[in-house]
Amino acid sequence: MFSKRVYVFGYGKFGQALSTMLNEYRINFFIGSNCQKEQSILKEFRENSFCFDLEDEKSLENLEVDENTIFVCAMDNNHENLFLALTLRELFPKNYILAISDSIYLTNKLKMAGVNRVIDIYSISGNIMLNILKNPIATRFLQGFINKEHDIIFKEVKILKDSPLVGKKINEIDFDEYDIIFIGMIDEANGNQFIFRTTGANFEVNSGDVLVFLGREQNLFKFQLECAGGKN
Amino acid sequence: MPKSYNIIALFLLFLAKNKRYTTFKAQIREIFTNPKNIYKNYIDWTIIFFIVSSIAIMMYEVKYPVSPWLDFYAIYFTSIVFAIEYLIKFWIYNDIHKEILKEEQRATFLKIKPRYTPVLIRAFFKKISYIFTPFAIIDLLAILPMYRELRFLKIFILFRFLKIFQHSRNIHHFLEVLSERKFELITLLFILIFVVFVGGIAIYVLEDHLNSKINDLFDALYWSFITITTVGFGDIVPVTTAGRVVSFIIILIGITMLSFATSVIVSAFSEKLNELKEERLAEEIVTKEKFLILCGYSHITKVFLRLVQEKEKYDYIILDKDEAKVQEALNDGHNAICDDASRYEVLKRFYSPNADITILALTSSDVENIYITLNAKAVSKDIKVIARANSKKVFNRYKKVGADRVVLPNDIASAMLVASIAYPTTYKAINAILNFKEVATIDEVYIDNQSEFVGKTIQSIPFEKLKITVVGVQNGIDGVFKFNPKKEYLLKEGDVLVVLGHKISIEYLKEHFNLIGSYS
């Protein structure tokens, strides 16, 4: 289970979709609502909810925050969302902040406000639609990351010290045995860059590397169990 | 019923029941009458060419001798072509056989004896009425120069020019605009005639015996007309003070009327201009083999179009019922039409049975998008629909009405956000693929009957050498998608390979093996 604490600000259209998704992935999260506007969600989420006031920093300072805490600015109102991002960055300079955006202009503003990652709702959807048009068959399995119940999914596997793969070259490993496809990896030794298999690089697998696969859930878990080492 | 009528009726009945004949006639009618039909364009341009070339030769012939074959071409060949065209138009004007069939069905239903004679006479007169339509008269007169005996009537050459009216859409549009202002223009014409007469009579009365140029009423009316139209040849001029005063008044009225007529026509044109532009846009897009109809100029539409312009080239048109949004789209440089995509007739207008049409229902309202989806499927099941759903709750409703793909922007963004929190490495991979990064290009390769891949195993194709991963293959026979196919998988005609590789590798694969993308 994901152990980091996630604070989601806003329970509008996006906040609701996000909370459903976070629940599906069993991520421990707290949903925050504007003290004056969205009182109803406090009832729905009970102990996993909090209330904040954008104009009163104390309501944010009182949150239980450690260095791993992640903030998600998901308010429907763009102005409020930007103001919230600015406030959070000021109060918690080292924490990871994510925010939603609906335009390239807002994305730039949010980045200027110190947001680490901005998710542009319409840009992603536009990309998905273009993918559907361009690669109608391929897009079906790309949706595996949206729908958890999808047949073929993406999965990342972290290689631990006692993994039988440690010290092996990527090309030496037979992934076909598990009926999974190796997409790429994060090589710790190479500055945490994601390297796609398509580059043809034949890296040595080391502990701490993160490998990304595409396949059926049971096959991916079998691989993880047998090859990742320890408890993944 | 006389025997001859009986034979004709039976023959027509035979034609009505002959599917080959009725289909053939319908096709010919479609070609000659449907402005959207691509062959109509070819026919129009060919006829225009014959008209212009024959007139040019005839004009040249007035002063200089031309070679016999040119003479034959201008007089006989073109006339034969025009005659065939005339006969075809006459043939397709109405369907007598349909009337006869209707009568037969009526008689069978009522269990009475069919009465073919009145039906035949009615249908015959309707057919004959074609001959008296203005365009048919022009057509007939344009053929006349073929007869040597009538060639002294060189004026018939002009009728060939008039024939262009039928084949030039611009002239059609001009006539349409004029017909929309029929009332104003006819009123002006009557005022003009009235003033010409009043002026003519006035000058005739005032300058009779005083002006040597005005010998009769026709001269006076001629002067009045030339003056009121502000042409003023100067061959007849008033010589008395009273006559000059009449001139002042007529010139003033003339200028006023001309200005009025001009403003009426200009305002009609400006009103019609947008309509004409939209009509042209619609007709243009329908001629494409593949095109997109984007319903709603929303935020997601703008983003999608930005991506399309950056990464892919698609022919598209935007439909929005909000005039302000259409204007915005036009200002942004897109082809947009102000119309309601949830109306059957609107989408039907863009339907072409031979085109690969995809509709993107992108309005911000689920109600609208579902209606558009339903409407598109009602026009044709072959139209693909990608719909934007604003809430997961309505997802199944989109599927029920036949949407091929449903995109939930909030859910997709949520999934990406969750992936970036919980699976940051996967997020990087997916993000690169979705954003068409060159290093992570996903493509679909179609194996057609020309492909040298047919009958080969995946292993025997240098995918590994090209650093390409075969993610899956869609079977060309049953359409089943096989994920991560075995190396021994035998490729067949119709299979679609889904591959992941560097853009350079995939492009090389396609070029080297002469392959095509599945959407190409």
Residue B163's Cα: distance from chain center in Å? 21
Structure tokens at A99: 């925010």
A89 found inside a domain: yes
The answer as to whether A205 is a domain residue is: yes
Query: pLDDT by residue (tens digit) across B295-347?
Result: 999 888 998 898 888 777 889 999 999 989 999 999 999 999 998 998 888 89
Q: Which residues contact B356 (CB under 8 A, 6 or more apart)?
A: B289, B290, B291, B384
Q: How far is CA A91 from the centre of its chain?
A: 23
Question: How high is the pLDDT of residue B325?
Answer: 92
Residues A157 and A95 in one domain: no
> What is the tally of helices (H) and strands (E) in chain B?
21, 11
Please tell me which of A14-23, B54-63, B267-276 the model is most confident about, judged by mean pLDDT: A14-23
CB-CB neighbours of B340 under 10 Å? 17
- The amino acid present at B168, given as its one-letter code, is S
We report the CATH number of the domain holding residue A25 as 3.40.50.720
Instruction: Identify the pLDDT of residue B106.
Output: 85
**pLDDT for residue B519:** 42
B471 touches A: beta carbon within 8 Å: yes
What are the angstrom distances between the C-alpha of B375 and each of B125, B318, B325, B420?
41, 16, 22, 38
Question: Where is the domain boundary, A81, A108, A125?
Answer: A125
Q: What is the mean pLDDT of chain B?
A: 86
Residues 324-383 of B with CB under 8 A from A: 358, 360
Q: Is residue A79 part of a domain?
A: yes
Q: Are residues A77 and A178 in the same domain?
A: no
Tell me the CATH number at A210: 3.30.70.1450
In sequence order, the β-bridge partners of residue B338 are B320
**Does residue A27 fall inside a structural domain?**
yes
* A17 part of contact set with chain B, CB < 8 Å: yes
Q: Do residues A23 and A104 share a domain?
A: yes
Cα separation values, B306 from A117, A122, A124, Å: 21, 11, 12
Chain B neighbors of A199, CB-CB under 8 A: 439, 467, 502
Residues in chain B within 8 Å Cβ distance of A22: 414, 418
B112 contacts: CB under 8 Å, gap ≥ 6: none
The rounded distance, in Å, linking the Cα atoms of A12 and A31 is 11
What's residue A89's pLDDT? Answer: 93
Distance CA B135, CA B165 (A): 9
A42 to A33, A46, B231, B466: CA distances (angstroms): 8, 5, 85, 56
Assign B2 a pLDDT band (cuts: 50, 70, 90): low
CA of B345 vs chain A CAs: smallest distance (Å): 25
Residue A88 near residue A73 (C-beta atoms within 8 A): yes
Q: What is the pLDDT of residues B462-476, one digit of tens each?
A: 888 888 989 889 888
Picking from A125, A141, A162, the residue at the C-terminal end of a domain is A125
A61 and A95 both lie in a single domain: yes
- Strand-by-strand arrangement of the A117-120 sheet: A49-52, A29-34, A6-9, A70-73, A96-101, A117-120
Q: In B, which residues are within 8 Å of A20 by CB distance?
A: 392, 414
A165 and A108 in a common domain: no
Taking the Cβ of residue A98 and every Cβ of chain B, the question of whether any pair is shorter than 8 Å is answered with yes
Residue ranges and CATH numbers for the domains of chain B are 3-167 (no CATH), 182-272 (1.10.287.70), 288-412 (3.40.50.720), 438-517 (3.30.70.1450)
Q: Which of residues 472-511 of B touch A (CB under 8 A)?
A: 472, 474, 481, 483-484, 486-487, 496, 498, 500-502, 505
Least confident of A5-19, A135-149, B40-54, B201-215: A135-149
A162, A100: one domain: no
The answer on A21 and A74 residing in a single domain is: yes
Domain contains A132: no
> Which contiguous run of DSSP H or E holds residue B293?
strand B290-295
Backbone angles phi, psi at B153, to 5 degrees: -85, 70
Å between A180 CA and nearest CA of chain B: 7
Is residue A232 very low, low, confident or very high in pLDDT (cuts 50, 70, 90)? very low
Are the C-beta atoms of B501 and B466 separated by less than 8 Å? yes
User: Which residues sit opposite B500 in a β-bridge?
Assistant: B442, B469
Decide which of A90, A125, A160 is a domain's last residue: A125
Whether residues A21 and A90 fall in one domain:
yes
In this structure, is residue A99 part of a structural domain?
yes
Both tokens assigned to A45: 């989420």
Is position A133 within any domain?
A: no
Q: Which long-range contacts (CB under 8 A, 24 or more apart) does B245-251 make?
A: B246/B199, B246/B202, B246/B203, B246/B206, B249/B199, B250/B195, B250/B199, B250/B224, B251/B227
- Of B493, B436, B492, B502, give the one whose Cα is nearest residue B469: B502
Cβ neighbours of B410 in A, within 8 Å: 13-14, 16-18, 121
**Residue A120 sits in the same domain as residue A155:** no
Please say if the pLDDT value at position B283 is more than 80.
Answer: yes
Q: What are phi and psi of B182, to 5 degrees?
A: -55, -45
* Number of structural domains chain A divides into: 2
Domain-embedded: residue A143: no
Q: Give the gap in angstroms from C-alpha B112 to the nearest C-alpha of chain A.
A: 59
Q: State whether A98 and A207 are in the same domain.
A: no
Structure letter (DSSP) for residue A159:
P
Query: Strand, coil or helix: what is A26?
Result: coil
Residue B145 pLDDT > 80, yes or no? no
Strand locations in chain A (E): 6-9, 29-34, 49-52, 70-73, 96-101, 117-120, 152-158, 180-187, 193-196, 210-216
Do A86 and A44 share a structural domain? Answer: yes
For B124-185, give the DSSP string.
HHHHHHGGGSHHHHHHHHHHGGGSGGGTT-TTHHHHHHHHHHHH-HHHHHHHHHHHHTHHHH
Count the alpha carbons within 13 Å of B72 in the hemisphere toward its beta carbon.
Answer: 3
Confidence (pLDDT) at B143: 80
Pairwise CA distance, residues B149 & A123, whole Å: 74
Whether residues A10 and A117 share a domain: the answer is yes
Which ipTM value was assigned to this complex?
A: 0.85
Compute, in degrees rounded to 10, the torsion defined by CA atoms B332, B337, B340, B346: -150
Q: Assign 3-class secondary structure to A111-152.
A: HHCCCCEEEEHHHHHHHHHHHHHHCCCHHHHHHHHCCCCCCE
Q: Which domain, by its residues, includes A156?
A: 151-228
Q: Give B 285-324 residues with CB within 8 A of chain A.
A: 292, 299-300, 302-304, 306-308, 311-312, 314
Output the pTM of the full model.
0.67
Q: How large is the average pLDDT for residues A112-132?
A: 89
| pLDDT tens for each residue of B213-256 | 888 899 999 999 999 988 888 889 999 999 999 999 999 998 99
Overall average pLDDT of the B37-45 stretch: 84
